[in-house]
Amino acid sequence: MRHKPVHRPAKALQFHARFSVVTLHTTPTEMGYWDVPDGTDCVEKTWITTKLGTALGLVGSAYHIVAFQPDSALAALQRATNATVTMASMGAIFGMATCLSAQAREVPDDPLNYFIGGCASGIFLGARTHSAMTGTSACLGLGTLAFFTKVGKMEGWKIAGPPKL
C-alpha cells in the first residue's frame, strides 16, 4: 500500500523564508561600490572589491590556462588558485586601504585615497613576487589608475558609451 506524502506547510514556509532571505541579498537593487559613500562602511566596500578581484582573477586565470596549457589538471588548478587568490587579496587590500585612508585623512572624496589604495595593492603584488621593482612599478601604476578612475567618476568622464547627439 502506498502512502500519500504528508504536506507540511510549516516546514515549507520555514524553508521559503530562509530561501527568500538568501535571494533578497542578490537582488538587482543590491548596492554597488560607487553607491556606498567613501569613508563609510569599510567592510561592505572591501567585500565588493574582493568579489571583483576574485572574478577578475578567475577570468584571467581561465584565459591564461587556455593560452598556456599546463601539463596536468593539478597544475591548472594550482595556477587558477594562485591567480585568483592574489587578485582577491589585491581587491581586499585596495578596498580597505582606500576606505581607511578616507577615514584617517577625514577627506572622503579625495582621489588621493584611491592612489593610496592602488599603491597598497601594488606593494602587495611586489611582496608576492619578491621583487621591489615590481612592487614599486605596480604601486605607481595601480595608484595612478585608481586616482584617475576616481577623478573621472567625479567629473563624469566617459570612456565608452552611446554617442551624444
Q: Quick one: average pLDDT of 37-51? A: 94
pLDDT greater at residue 120 or residue 32: 120
pLDDT of residue 165: 78
Distance CA 146, CA 114 (A): 5
Q: At what angle do helices 132-155 and 111-129 cross, to 10 degrees?
A: 160
H helix or E strand, kind and range, residue 108: none
pLDDT of residue 2: 53
pLDDT tens-digit readout, 73-82: 999 999 999 9
Distance CA 163, CA 61 (A): 34
Q: Residue 8 above 90 pLDDT?
A: no
Q: Residue 13 above 90 pLDDT?
A: no
CB atoms within 10 A of CB 68: 8
Closest CA to 39 of 120, 100, 116: 100
Q: Quick one: average pLDDT of 29-35? A: 79
